[in-house]
């Protein structure tokens, strides 16, 4: 009634008509429809569902949810649009017990599901299935696995990794099995005990942290599960969670061997312990329980975020803290805490707490300050593994009130996850573990130490944004604007790599790599003729596949495929925006200049946006005008002297 009264008064104020009235009415409707942080939309999932639930998101925003039907004991895969409309459902392989089924959506659009099979004559095993993202009920294919209560992650190409209890080997132990799409099992690797973290890097390497006997260890395997290294003594008696950080480092949290507290251990990409980033996260007498987790951010002052429940021996309490990259406490909050963390692109940290009335807290990750919160309606309890944050800012969670399950879509301003996701095998590709946008390339020129990335971001920019902010006319961006700051070997060339899946179909030669310096200049870099770090020149850029294979200048790209962008930058060279010795700052974007050729291999040209350096034609009174003014000054002096 109040809204109708306001509409009538606005309309009457402008005489019941006119352009102004129509414009104001349009603005009124738009403003009343605008969503704000914490707004919630609910979608009923079903009343006969049990055990854990899992969410995965399609590239088009479709929400896929996997539950277990309590009556049929079959998995139930449901699809909903990003607006909450029901699309379809289908049955999957039988499942049993908590954490018994997982799903993941591939870049090819297929949906992969792993569940349990029951054979009365033998030990329980698993089943891996692939489905089309449509109403067709039957799977595209199905394969048996030897793993029970498995989870899965998707690697480069068609690689599929299933991870869980191996019930064939006695006593039971954790294993990973490797499949390829439409193929049988291609390989496996076994490690003792109970594992608390398994991660894939961009090259397909797999890192595993596991508790075995009365200690813990970490192992690294290549993409076909061949062993690479083994760290057999972490100093932890029991692991509870893990995450991957910058430069393929892995971070594991668990109970300390030597003290009655919880400790974070950091290993670098070669398996050596990094003492400067290994530290105690709780005080003496406090131990994090199994329902705990942490994520890794990209700010050196607030890098590690840890949440959970701490056991003080006689009682338990909520725990939420942030630490710098060197282990100094950045902030703490004793009134909030939970079992799952999600880090948004806008540096908002979301803490999901099934323990506190099904609450989702939004927190400033840099300061720890409370922003807003949502408590689930209908007396629902949060299911800790059912969470996903989409690029439109929607945070999806699932609640269960004992009678029904509900999908809650929560409005946020995050516009997706911070940086790009690491597939986290053990936690079902929850997409809550993060890594930096910019990574040091594994190969560096001789005598160059691996750079240390201090901060990195990627921001979506339109053609109009780039023209307004940098004056880059006629340039259409395909990727986000990548920016990073890194400590490097002074006055030497360092090589960095970035992951993108936004490049269109077509030849590499159609692309331009645009370097943005301040507000007045742009540099287009040349495409390298190989992936040899020793031959890299300042300003070179090139593309490689996820497995590290170089992509030639005239080769074709496939839309939606993930590629690595390699970039060679010399400290204090023309492509380094930071004049500090030993520090590189570099913003760049991949795209296409209208009417211009792509970045030629070894070529150099001018304003068409291909390789070489070009002055910015769009900035008002930029460097070009200063240069022209400088040319004209002598002539003007001579004229006025006459």
Residue 19: φ, ψ to 5°? -65, -40
pLDDT value, residue 155: 73
pLDDT at 494: 94
Between CA 402 and CA 382 the distance in angstroms is: 11
* pLDDT value at residue 423: 52
Per the structure block, which two tokens stand in for 272?
Answer: 């050596």
Residue 141 has pLDDT above 60, yes or no: yes
Long-range contacts of 86-92 (CB under 8 A, 24+ apart): 86/43, 87/62, 87/135, 88/134, 88/135, 90/131, 90/135, 90/136, 90/137, 91/137, 92/66, 92/129, 92/131, 92/139
Exposed/middle/buried for 272, CB within 10 Å: 0-12, 13-18, 19+? exposed
According to the model, what pLDDT value does residue 118 have? 64
Q: Supply the pLDDT for residue 248.
A: 75
More confident call, 314 vs 9: 314
Q: Is the pLDDT of residue 408 over 90?
A: yes
Question: What's the pLDDT score for residue 351?
Answer: 92
The values of phi and psi at residue 268, to 5°, are -80, -175
β-pair type (521-524, 40-46): unpaired
- CA–CA dist 222, 432 (Å, integer): 23
Indicate the burial class of 252 (C-beta count within 10 angstroms; 0-12, 13-18, 19 or more).
buried
**Token match 């908002």: residue?**
348
Q: Which helix (H) or strand (E) holds 454?
A: strand 452-459
User: What is the DSSP secondary-structure string of 147-187?
Assistant: EEEEEEEE-STTEEEEEEEESSSSS-EEEEEEEETTS-EEE
Distance, in Å, from the CA atom of 338 to the CA atom of 193, rounded to the nearest integer, reads: 26
CA distances from 422 to 4, 111, 245 (A): 49, 18, 9
CA-CA distance, 52 to 406, in Å (whole number)?
A: 13
Peptide bond just before 629 cis, omega within 30 deg: no
Instruction: Report the pLDDT value the prediction gives residue 524, as an integer from 0 to 100.
Output: 63
Q: Is the pLDDT of residue 518 over 80?
A: no
Collapsed DSSP state (helix, strand, coil) of residue 551:
strand
Give the pLDDT of residue 469.
83
The fraction of the chain above a pLDDT of 70, given in percent, is 78
Average pLDDT over the chain, rounded to an integer: 78
DSSP letters for 491-547: TSEEEEEEEE--PPSEEGGG-EEEEEETTTEEEEPPBPSS--GGG--TT-EEEE-TT
pLDDT at 612 over 50: no
DSSP secondary structure of 10-73 = HHHHTTT-SHHHHHHHHHHHHHHH---TT-EEEEEEESSEEEEEEEEE-TTS-EEEEEEETTT-
For 49-80, the pLDDT digits (tens) are 887 788 988 877 899 999 888 887 788 999 99
Residue 306 pLDDT > 90, yes or no?
yes
Q: What is the mean pLDDT of residues 335-359?
A: 86
Residue 513 pLDDT exceeds 80: yes
Taking every pair of Cα atoms in the chain, the longest distance, rounded to a whole number of angstroms, is 109
Whether the Cβ atoms of residue 307 and residue 360 lie closer than 8 Å to each other = no
Check pLDDT > 90 for residue 345: no
The answer to whether 26 and 32 have CB atoms below 8 angstroms apart is: no
Specify the 3-state DSSP secondary structure of 466: helix
Q: For the ranges 178-187, 363-372, 436-445, 614-623, which has the lowest average pLDDT?
A: 614-623
Burial bucket for residue 182 (CB in 10 Å: 0-12, 13-18, 19+): exposed
Weakest-pLDDT range from 382-391, 568-577, 628-637 = 628-637
Mean pLDDT of 92-116: 72
Measured CA angle at 61 (ends 67, 501), to 5 deg: 115
Q: Which residues pair with 77 in a beta bridge?
A: 66, 90
DSSP string, 192-260: SSEEEEEEE-TTS-EEEEEEETTEEEEEEE-TT--EEEEE---SEEEEEEEEE-GGG-EEEEEEESSSS
Residue 568 pLDDT greater than 50, yes or no: yes
Structure tokens at 51: 């055990």
Burial of 581 (0-12, 13-18, 19+ CB in 10 A): exposed
pLDDT band at 96 (very low <50, low <70, confident <90, very high): low
| Residue 618: pLDDT over 50 | no
> Tell me: the pLDDT tens digits for 293-304?
888 887 778 889
Q: State pLDDT tens for residues 153-175.
A: 877 666 888 888 887 776 667 88
In the predicted model, is pLDDT for residue 247 greater than 90?
A: no
Tokens of 537: 């020149």
- What's the pLDDT band for 214 if we cut at 50, 70, 90? low
**Mean pLDDT on 108-128:** 77
Q: ∠454-457-460 over CA atoms, to 5°?
A: 170
Task: Return d(Cα 516, Cα 538) in angstroms, integer.
Answer: 15
**Is the alpha carbon torsion for 272, 275, 276, 282 positive or negative?**
positive
Does pLDDT of 625 surpass 90? Answer: no
Q: Chain-centre distance of CA 524, in angstroms?
A: 28
In the predicted model, what is the mean pLDDT of residues 9-26?
39
The residue with greater pLDDT, 36 or 258, is 258
């Amino acid at each position: 009634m109040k809204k109708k009264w306001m509409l009538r008064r606005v309309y009457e104020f402008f005489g019941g008509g006119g352009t102004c009235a129509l414009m104001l009415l349009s603005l009124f409707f738009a403003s009343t429809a605008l969503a704000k942080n914490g707004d919630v939309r609910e979608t009923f999932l079903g009343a006969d569902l049990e055990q854990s639930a899992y969410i995965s998101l399609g590239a088009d925003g479709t929400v896929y949810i996997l539950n277990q039907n309590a009556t049929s004991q079959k998995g139930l895969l449901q699809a909903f649009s990003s607006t909450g409309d029901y699309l379809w459902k289908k049955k999957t392989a039988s499942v049993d017990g908590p954490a018994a089924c997982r799903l993941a959506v591939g870049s090819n659009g297929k949906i992969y599901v792993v569940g349990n099979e029951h054979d009365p004559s033998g030990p329980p095993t698993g089943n891996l299935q692939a489905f089309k993202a449509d109403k067709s009920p039957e799977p595209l294919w199905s394969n048996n696995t030897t793993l029970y209560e498995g989870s899965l992650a998707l690697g480069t190409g068609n690689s599929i990794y299933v991870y869980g209890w191996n019930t064939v080997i006695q006593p039971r132990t954790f294993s990973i099995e490797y499949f390829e799409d439409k193929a049988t099992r291609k390989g496996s690797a076994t490690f003792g005990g109970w594992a608390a973290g398994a991660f894939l890097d961009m090259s397909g390497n797999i890192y595993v942290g596991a508790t075995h006997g009365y200690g813990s260890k970490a192992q690294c395997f290549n993409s076909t599960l061949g062993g690479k290294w083994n760290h057999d003594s972490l100093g932890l008696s029991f692991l509870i969670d893990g995450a991957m950080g910058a430069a393929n480092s892995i971070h594991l949290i668990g109970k300390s061997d030597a003290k009655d507290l919880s400790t974070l251990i950091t290993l670098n990409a070669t398996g050596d312990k990094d003492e400067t980033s290994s530290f105690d996260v709780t005080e003496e007498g406090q131990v994090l329980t199994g329902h705990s987790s942490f994520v890794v951010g990209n700010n050196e002052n607030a890098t590690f975020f840890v949440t959970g429940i701490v056991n003080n021996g006689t009682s338990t309490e909520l725990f939420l803290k942030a630490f710098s990259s060197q282990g100094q406490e950045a902030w703490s909050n004793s009134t909030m805490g939970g079992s799952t963390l999600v880090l948004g692109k806008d540096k908002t940290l979301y803490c999901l707490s099934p323990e506190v009335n099904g609450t989702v807290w939004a927190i400033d990750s840099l300061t720890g300050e409370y922003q807003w919160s949502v408590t689930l309606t209908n007396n629902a309890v949060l299911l800790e593994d059912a969470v996903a944050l989409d690029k439109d800012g929607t945070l999806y969670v699932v609640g269960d009130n004992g009678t029904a399950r509900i999908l809650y879509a929560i409005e946020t301003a995050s516009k997706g996850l911070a940086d790009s996701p690491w597939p986290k095998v053990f936690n079902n590709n929850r997409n809550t573990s993060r890594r930096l946008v910019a990574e040091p390339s594994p190969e560096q020129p001789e005598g160059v130490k691996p750079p240390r990335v201090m901060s990195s971001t990627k921001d979506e920019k339109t053609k109009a944004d780039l023209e307004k902010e940098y004056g880059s006319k006629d340039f259409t961006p395909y990727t986000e604007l990548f920016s990073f700051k890194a400590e490097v070997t002074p006055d030497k060339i360092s090589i960095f790599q970035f992951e993108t899946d936004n490049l269109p179909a077509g030849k590499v030669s159609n692309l331009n790599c645009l370097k943005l310096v301040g507000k007045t200049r742009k540099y287009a870099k040349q495409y390298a003729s190989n992936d040899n770090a020793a031959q890299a020149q300042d300003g070179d850029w090139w593309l490689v596949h996820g497995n590290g294979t170089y992509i030639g200048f005239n080769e074709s790209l496939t839309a939606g495929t993930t590629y690595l962008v390699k970039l060679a930058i010399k400290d204090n060279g023309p492509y380094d925006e930071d004049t500090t010795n030993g520090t590189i700052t570099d913003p760049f974007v991949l795209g296409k200049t209208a009417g211009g050729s792509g970045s030629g291999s070894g070529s150099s040209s001018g304003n068409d946006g291909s390789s070489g350096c070009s002055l910015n034609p769009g900035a008002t009174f930029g460097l070009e005008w200063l240069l022209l003014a400088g040319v004209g000054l002598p002539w003007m002096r001579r004229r006025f002297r006459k």
